[in-house]
Amino acid sequence: MIEVRELCREFTVTGKAGRFRRTRTTVRAVESVSFDVAAGEAVGYVGPNGAGKSTTIKMLTGILVPTSGHVRVSGVDPSRSRRELARRIGVVFGQRSQLWWDLPLRDSFALLRSIYRVGAADHARRLRECVELLELAPFLDRPVRQLSLGQRMRGEVTAALLHGPELLVLDEPTIGLDLESKERLREFLADLNTARGTTLLLTTHDLDDIERLCRRLVVIDRGTVLADGPLEGLRAEVAPDRVLVVDLERPAEPLEGLLGVVDVRTELGGLRQRLTFRRSETTAAALITAVVARAEVHDLVIEEADIDDVVRRLYARR
Ligand SMILES: Nc1ncnc2c1ncn2[C@@H]1O[C@H](COP(=O)(O)OP(=O)(O)OP(=O)(O)O)[C@@H](O)[C@H]1O
């Protein structure tokens, strides 16, 4: 669905040096990025501010022409075949709108139907689904400028889906939304991917988006790919330890010497013990069995690096 090879984009920035002289410097926003996305995948494209995410998305959607490298999306070269691409993919920019500000949402949708030349029946069916799942009915007849951010975003996502795209590209789709709106949108997108097979590529700084939506993460920094793989694989790679926290019925000596355990800390006078263990050397189940054989356990919980930790550690590698 997406094929990117050694993609590079430079910008020339002019600055002032003295009264009359100007300097020209070249900024490499995307240095060399390569990755593929297969049909049906849901991929998170993440990286710190200025890493080159938006620039990549703009090249994937035909808004920017690459300086060098190869890119194909949905079988076409995005910057050469923008119209063809627009028929095949949907794009949502959290910070920009594709709706008509003064028109009621319903009229924006009707205009998009004529622009994309979508059949009346298909349009009506897709609109009905979005209206129901994204709960648009109460504000369909209101001008876009009167909508809240959350309402408008639901409208933006609908607008991007009315022509039935096989790929949806989202740049910061949940930015600025409240928790409930974020959750509603995530649920809708997860269903779009799993039940309908629409391929998703999204950039986000909200790693809960990734946790809920994406099985795979492409992490970029300074215009190159730092890591690419399933979240679980990346977690195992950068955070090889997990922690088993056990609350005992009675205080006990530290539970030392269990297979795979690299550190034991006691709290509450030995009533709570935190056992750090290597995921490559033992499983949580085996360790729990070993602990239960040594002491009477009241409660236990397993802690591991959350997605923020994983991504932070990946950035820190640089
Ligand atoms: N039109 C432009 N002219 C000059 N430099 C640019 C231009 N667009 C982007 N850049 C620079 O390229 C780099 C990558 O920018 P980009 O917007 O792709 O990053 P990003 O990963 O999307 O960041 P953020 O998370 O802050 O949105 C930055 O250093 C930015 O200043």
**Which residue among 11, 24, 207 has the greatest number of ligand 1 atoms within 8 angstroms of its CB, and so is best to mutate?**
11
| pLDDT in the model for residue 277 | 95
State the SS3 of the chain: CEEEEEEEEEEEEEEEECCCEEEEEEEEEEEEEEEEECCCCEEEEECCCCCCHHHHHHHHCCCCCCCEEEEEECCECCCCCHHHHHHHEEEEECCCCCCCCCCEHHHHHHHHHHHHCCCHHHHHHHHHHHHHHCCCHHHCCCEHHHCCHHHHHHHHHHHHHCCCCCEEEEECCCCCCCHHHHHHHHHHHHHHHHCCCCEEEEECCCHHHHHHHCCEEEEEECCEEEEEEEHHHHHHHHCCEEEEEEEECCCCCCCCCCCCEEEEEEEHHHCEEEEEEECCCCCHHHHHHHHHHHCCEEEEEEECCCHHHHHHHHHHCC
User: Would the CATH topology of 2-235 be identical to that of 240-316?
Assistant: no
pLDDT, mean over the chain: 91
For domain 240-316, the CATH class is alpha beta
Q: Residue 204's pLDDT is what?
A: 87
Whether pLDDT at 116 is above 80: yes
pTM: predicted TM-score of the whole model, two decimal places = 0.82
Residue identifier of the C-alpha nearest atom 1 of ligand 1: 11
For the Cβ of 54 lying below 6 angstroms from any atom of ligand 1, the answer is: yes
| CA–CA gap between residue 43 and residue 200 (Å, rounded) | 6
pLDDT at 200: 96
- Ligand 1: atom nearest CA of 205 is 25
The structural domains of the chain, with segments of one domain joined by +, span: 2-235, 240-316
Cβ of 14 closer than 6 Å to ligand 1, yes or no, is: no
Provide the pLDDT confidence category of residue 316 given band limits of 50, 70 and 90: confident
Q: Is ligand 1 within 6 A of the CB of residue 204?
A: no
pLDDT digits (tens, 9 = 90+) for 84-107: 999 999 999 878 888 999 999 999
pLDDT-based confidence at residue 254 (cuts at 50, 70, 90): very high
Pick the CATH number of 2-235 from 3.40.190.10, 3.40.50.300, 1.10.287.180, 3.90.1150.10: 3.40.50.300
